[in-house]
A and B are shown apart, each in its own frame.
Chain A
Amino acid sequence: MDMKNLINDAKALGADYFPMFLRKPAPKFVTESGNPVFGIVAEFDETPKVFKAAKKVRDAGYSKWDVHTPFPIHDMEEAMGIKTTKLPLMAGGAAVTGLCIAILLQWGTTDWLYPTVVQGKPFDAWQPFVPVMFELAVLLTAFMCIFGMLALNGLPRFHHPLFSHERFCRVGNDRFFIAIEATDPNFDPEKTKALLEEIGGTDITLIEDVS
């Protein structure tokens, strides 16, 4: 992933929330009616089929795509080639931040700015700092875990273009879907459609991004 794509993604995400400040980047593909293309979706009716198809999409080099299923499928992340999340690293950073804040807050107030004798203990005794150090580290880690997760997966959102696809309702019941997004650098309306056909998808549909 290069820098340009990353900036474009950030802009598009920002435009969703602050349309008054940011304008959405021009879409690469538009339909005849002028609406931007969200992507192409294909339907599958069995778990093994969608599992094998996901591997082929992965091998074709796509990165911005998703599999939608009624239930979790084990090893799907491997079949889709999803890399390990960066969230633990972010949470670790938050933990260190919390630790430092706690040390500064307590040492700064009780030893440096306003030394106070409490229970006859030394000013710089580290023992009473530890519970607060632990609590603040855990608190910031928990915040980073929940808000970092939301930031990384782009939630919450009010609408998703796939919901405009009538048949997509069956994803909650008995159908599996693979959706390849138009923002993928490898996306090409003809070639992507051909690929989805080749890997056994049915009811292949182009989805407009109407918002």
Chain B
Amino acid sequence: MTQIATKHPNHPAPDSTGLSDADWQARLDRIASDPRMSEDNTTLSAASASRAAKWLFGAGIVGLLVTLMGAFTNGRHALGAFEVGVFTVLAISLGSLFWVMVFHSLNASWAITLRRQFENIASLVWVPVVMMLIVAAIEITQGGVLLQWLGYTGKEYNHLLEVKSPYLNTNFFIIRIIIYAAIWVGISRVLLSWSRKSDETGDRMLGRKARFLSGAGIPLFALSTAFASFDFLMSLDYRFFSTMWGVYYFASCALASASAVAIVATMLRRAGKLDGLVTEEHFHDLGKLVFAFVVFWAYVAFSQYFLIWYANIPEETAWYTNRQQHGWQWLFVVMTMGHFGIPFLLLIWRKTKRKTMLLCGMSVYMLVMVILDMLWIIRPMVYMNTSKADPGLAMIWLDIAGVVGVLGIFAGLVALKIPKSPLLPLKDPMLHESLKHKNYV
């Protein structure tokens, strides 16, 4: 007697739902008939988004033009201001990529209704990547503007640059940037395209695939983000090194992206979209992420500072002593209080996280603090090792112009991206859980 192995009609598909095809179809029908999932509630018209985008692009172009004007009088400073904007925007989009991968790999059900906004912002990572390439092109063709090690030829022997040259050299720098760009743009576009595809087909295996890719993508993301921050931010002072640096930049990534999505979600709710889909419960959890990474940033920033302060090794300490003079010590106080103390005390209250507008206000504030953090890293290096004295606040218009320029362009592109697909993954395997999400504590 032979047995023939046949597929049982109710055999569950090998995905996270564990449902048979018939049960899955029934669930999709049930979700589709939910009044909250109406066409009007889940899509944004391109017209209303482009109205907002027009203003943002306007601000961005004005900012970039002013930066360009500044570049003719003071190229170093203009490049520094531009970089502050670029690395803030890179933090926002890379952090979104990180959150999307975390949601996928942990099967996070609460975040499903918010995930499309994370995906939108993550898939725009090409914007800061292109700007990063522009920065790299300027640095390489000018033989090192802020990245002094790019100009090292070996004619005047410099011991540190000599021993670091296997890593800090132009060719390897170019190769690394290409690898970073490929990883970030590749993963983010694939994840968004799978998510959009599942909106149409309702294919559950796409969620499974995304989960697999995310598992591989998180270590890739971690390494590429850390090394990109070494290449562009830590090596601004080639003498300096810190093993916390990658985590320090990552803390800003996670914080800035959670804040940015809180702002986008608030705007969508104000436009009357996602009613009942993104509720105060989702905002509460998003606020918890913001709160967690406010604390995480403080933890990492202090750990880095504390060890360097205690060990007192000249190469490392110089980075901080440069920032304890010429007025930068005030930024130190602003960062300790403004980036940690005040938001810690405000975000710890349940109400701040649950009231949409309060969380939105806090998120805008946190984004300003992330910009100040990037300013704290990049800006003091502009006049370091030059004959010019730091003009301080006299040239602040250039710093503001650089940041507004980059952020304006990026925000405008986000506004144009949002209406291109439904505002949430319509047929995600875990959507039903996000629809009834509730915090019991």
Contact = CB atoms under 8 A, between A and B. Distances in A.
Interface of A: 74-75, 77, 92, 119, 127-128, 130-131
Contacts of B438: 74-75
B310 interface: yes
The 9 closest A-B pairs by CB, nearest first: A127-B309, A127-B306, A130-B302, A74-B440, A130-B306, A127-B310, A128-B310, A119-B310, A127-B305
A77 B440 CA distance: 9
Nearest to A120: B312
Contacts of B306: 127, 130-131
A119 B440 CA distance: 50
Contacts of B348: 92
Contacts of B310: 119, 127-128
A92 B302 CA distance: 22
A131 B179 CA distance: 39
A119 B310 CA distance: 9
Interface of B: 302, 305-306, 309-310, 348, 438, 440
Contacts of A127: 305-306, 309-310
A185 B35 CA distance: 45
A75 B305 CA distance: 46
B72 to A, nearest CB: 43
A85 to B, nearest CB: 10
A128 B309 CA distance: 9
Contacts of A75: 438
14 contacts: A74-B438, A74-B440, A75-B438, A77-B440, A92-B348, A119-B310, A127-B305, A127-B306, A127-B309, A127-B310, A128-B310, A130-B302, A130-B306, A131-B306
Contacts of A92: 348
A26 B441 CA distance: 38
Nearest to A76: B440
A128 B348 CA distance: 25
A161 B440 CA distance: 29
A127 B306 CA distance: 7
A91 to B, nearest CB: 10
A127 B303 CA distance: 10
A128 B310 CA distance: 8
Contacts of B302: 130
B347 to A, nearest CB: 13
Given A74-B438, A130-B306, 11 more contacts: A74-B440, A75-B438, A77-B440, A92-B348, A119-B310, A127-B305, A127-B306, A127-B310, A128-B310, A130-B302, A131-B306
A75 B281 CA distance: 14
A128 B302 CA distance: 11
A128 B306 CA distance: 8
A194 to B, nearest CB: 33
A123 B301 CA distance: 23
Nearest to B302: A130
A151 B151 CA distance: 68
Contacts of B309: 127
Contacts of A131: 306
Nearest to B349: A88
Nearest to A85: B441
A130 B340 CA distance: 14
Contacts of A119: 310
Nearest to B305: A127
Contacts of A74: 438, 440
A82 to B, nearest CB: 12
Contacts of A130: 302, 306
B219 to A, nearest CB: 30
Nearest to A128: B310
A74 B441 CA distance: 11
Nearest to B306: A127
